[in-house]
């Protein structure tokens, strides 16, 4: 199955000049969504993972489905102020300002081996922050997985410390 064909391009969203990659069309097709989760499960079934870490919000969709399929736990990385217990946090740069992501401080330990899941690698800031949080908690990051990578934004440059896998590379807007 060609997954890129299942993703809709939305011009000028969220602002003029941006070609938004809308994964909701892939999610809406049961066979395409199942195919994606099956690809992930096959990739990680023998990896000895103990948890899946998903990044808000679309990383939750793929990450939770994968964790369920593998029969292991799911750990969310959320935007600042959304988790109810004690957290650790990382700030990262956006095009116009700064954002913060958090994880529960007791969510992972040094005995955990994880995959970090998100939908997209763009500039790499969110993924880098999430990886640093997982590293701080002492867990072993087996791999970082994303459905799409916008290679023209060079986000992978921020992720050189970790193994990164993107199913689909997009070379231009």
95-102: list long-range contacts, CB under 8 Å, 24+ apart: 95/123, 99/125, 99/126, 100/129, 101/55, 101/56, 101/77, 101/126, 101/129, 101/130, 101/133, 102/77, 102/78, 102/133
Peptide bond preceding 28 in cis form (omega within 30 of 0): no
In the 8-state DSSP scheme, what is residue 71? T
- The residues carrying an active-site annotation are 58, 95
Question: Is the Cβ–Cβ distance between 161 and 118 less than 8 Å?
Answer: no
Q: What is the Cβ-side half-sphere exposure of residue 77, based on CA atoms within 13 angstroms?
A: 31
In the 8-state DSSP scheme, what is residue 46? T
């Amino acid at each position: 199955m060609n997954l890129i064909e299942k993703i809709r391009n939305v011009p000028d969203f969220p602002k003029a000049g941006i070609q938004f990659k809308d994964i909701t069309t892939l999610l809406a097709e049961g066979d395409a969504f199942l195919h994606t989760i099956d690809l992930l499960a096959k990739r990680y079934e023998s990896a000895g993972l103990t948890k899946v870490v998903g990044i808000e919000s679309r990383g939750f969709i793929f990450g939770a489905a994968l964790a369920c399929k593998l029969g292991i736990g799911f750990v969310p990385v959320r935007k600042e102020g959304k988790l109810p217990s004690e957290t650790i946090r990382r700030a990262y740069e956006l095009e116009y300002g700064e954002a913060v992501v958090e994880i529960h401080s007791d969510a992972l330990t040094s005995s955990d081996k994880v995959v970090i899941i998100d939908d997209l690698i763009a500039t790499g800031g969110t993924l880098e922050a999430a990886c640093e949080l997982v590293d701080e908690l002492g867990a072993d990051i087996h791999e970082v997985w994303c459905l799409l990578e916008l290679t023209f934004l060079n986000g992978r440059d921020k992720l050189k410390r970790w193994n990164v896998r993107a199913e689909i590379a997009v070379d231009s807007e």
